[in-house]
A and B are shown apart, each in its own frame.
Chain A
Amino acid sequence: GAVVSQHPSWVICKSGTSVKIECRSLDFQATTMFWYRQFPKQSLMLMATSNEGSKATYEQGVEKDKFLINHASLTLSTLTVTSAHPEDSSFYICSARAPDTGELFFGEGSRLTVL
């Protein structure tokens, strides 16, 4: 099946710094990718839909200036958590929908810890 890869898998940063997480579709082109946030023992919360070549679409309550999304190519979307604070610590997961089957493939997730 298709593969979606995230990097880094775990990052620790100081409060106030910015962190970039990459999401790549390795063997298919994805015009649309999705970013989710998962709190411990909770479900995935859709943060935004990343559209190649255009602005991301954010879900209600998600600060677009806080979580910058860039989808510069058909295989890469990035999520930048700007001026991170401890409350931003979470597990961030990206996904991409395969264009032929419509199946959603997930990255392995990136754990962000803000000190």
Chain B
Amino acid sequence: AQRVTQPEKLLSVFKGAPVELKCNYSYSGSPELFWYVQYSRQRLQLLLRHISRESIKGFTADLNKGETSFHLKKPFAQEEDSAMYYCALSISRNFNKFYFGSGTKLNVKP
């Protein structure tokens, strides 16, 4: 069963435009949600997690349990934001499994 859905494979915006990368999840328990980013030729790294409720590199994400969403937002995109973004769901605290969405490639044009 698909646990994490990222409907957009590619999102292209111009520099300075707002960005929203969508993520929906399916899990009946208490989810831990994350956004991971993979810049070109680099390994995956954590961008932010819903528990910390912080803003990283201008990005924020709010967990909406009613809509089972965890969309990633940034008011003004920068060229250096161009990367692959993966939404991830962690379940089963004993094993701490992570499930990833299919990813969205963000392309910020000058």
Q: Given known contacts A49-B97, A57-B95, is B102 in contact with A42 (CB within 8 Å)? A: yes
Question: In the bound complex, do residue B103 and residue A43 qualify as a contact, i.e. CB atoms below 8 Å apart?
Answer: yes
User: What are 15 A-B pairs at a CB distance below 8 A?
Assistant: A34-B98, A36-B100, A43-B86, A43-B101, A43-B102, A43-B103, A46-B98, A49-B95, A102-B32, A103-B46, A104-B36, A104-B46, A105-B46, A107-B43, A109-B43
Asked if A62 is at the interface (CB within 8 A of a chain B CB), the reply is: no
Give the contact-size bracket for chain A. Answer: 20 to 34
Asked if B70 is at the interface (CB within 8 A of a chain A CB), the reply is: no
Q: Mark A63-82, 1 if CB is under 8 A from B, else 0.
A: 00000000000000000000
Q: Mark A92-107, 1 if CB is under 8 A from B, else 0.
A: 0101010000111111
Q: Mark A50-63, 1 if CB is under 8 A from B, else 0.
A: 01000001000000
Asked if B40 is at the interface (CB within 8 A of a chain A CB), the reply is: no
**Across chains A and B, which 10 residue pairs bring their CB atoms closest together, nearest first?**
A43-B102, A106-B44, A44-B100, A108-B43, A43-B103, A106-B43, A43-B100, A97-B96, A49-B95, A103-B46
Binding site for A on B (CB under 8 A): 32, 34, 36, 43-46, 49, 86, 88, 90, 95-103
Q: Total contacts A to B, CB within 8 angstroms?
A: 47
Residue of B nearest to A59 (CB): B97
Chain A residues whose C-beta falls within 8 Å of the C-beta of B88 in the assembled complex: 104
Chain A residues whose C-beta falls within 8 Å of the C-beta of B102 in the assembled complex: 42-43
In the assembled complex, the Cα of A106 lies from the Cα of B88 at a distance in Å of 13
Asked if A32 is at the interface (CB within 8 A of a chain B CB), the reply is: yes
Q: Return A97 CB to nearest CB of chain B, in Å.
A: 5
Checking B45, B49, B97, B103 against A46 with a beta-carbon cut-off of 8 angstroms, the contacting residue is: B97
